[in-house]
Amino acid sequence: MATVKQVLSGHVSPDTAYVVEDYPYGFRLRCRIRYWLEYKEGCGVRCWSQTTNPKRGGVWNKPKASTYGRFGGALYLTDNGHVAWAALTEYTDGAEASAWLEKFGAGLPEPARPVAEMWRASKVAYDERRAAGGSMQEAARAAAQAAVATVKAEG
């Protein structure tokens, strides 16, 4: 797996997209490709990409979208210069959510930040309660209280 060279930020629409000027198009042709993130409330963050068509004078083709990362997403450059994206999903535990935000938080679209912070706080509280021997109900209650406290602190 490639390592993260640089986290990209501010690429949240086709107009502000990260553009790669020399991208393969089929076997012999070259084109441009652009990448951006979309945040949709209730769904999360997803990555979009769109290439130009060198056979039609460089017009933009139809954009392609990934699946949503429920609690966040970020674009980054790999050590070999390729653009990739990482998502914060419902399948992370507290430590993974904290590590993800530490590594990719700078690239998170601003509207998604409160959701990601709430998710981290609730997962950390849940994991701590379970590690202390609490029941699943107690852990869920602690997670909900942490989520509410995070929302109140931010807004």
pLDDT digit string (tens) for 115-133? 999 999 999 998 888 888 8
Determine the 3-state secondary structure of 66 from DSSP: coil
Q: Which residue has the tokens 């807004």?
A: 155
Q: Which residue has the tokens 């490709």?
A: 33
Helix axes 94-104, 113-131, angle to 10 degrees: 150
Per the structure block, which two tokens stand in for 45? 């963050």
- One-letter amino acid at 146 equals A
pLDDT digit string (tens) for 64-88? 999 999 999 999 999 999 999 999 9
> Considering the chain, what percentage of its residues have pLDDT values greater than 90?
75
> Do residues 100 and 73 touch, judged by C-beta distance below 8 A?
no
Over 70: is that where the pLDDT of 24 sits?
Answer: yes
> Do residues 132 and 124 touch, judged by C-beta distance below 8 A?
no
Domain assignment of residue 101, given as a range: 4-154
The pTM for the full model equals 0.88
- Number of domains, the chain: 1
> Do residues 51 and 22 touch, judged by C-beta distance below 8 A?
no
Helix axes 136-154, 113-131, angle to 10 degrees: 150
Distance CA 129, CA 127 (A): 6
Backbone angles phi, psi at 109, to 5 degrees: -60, 140
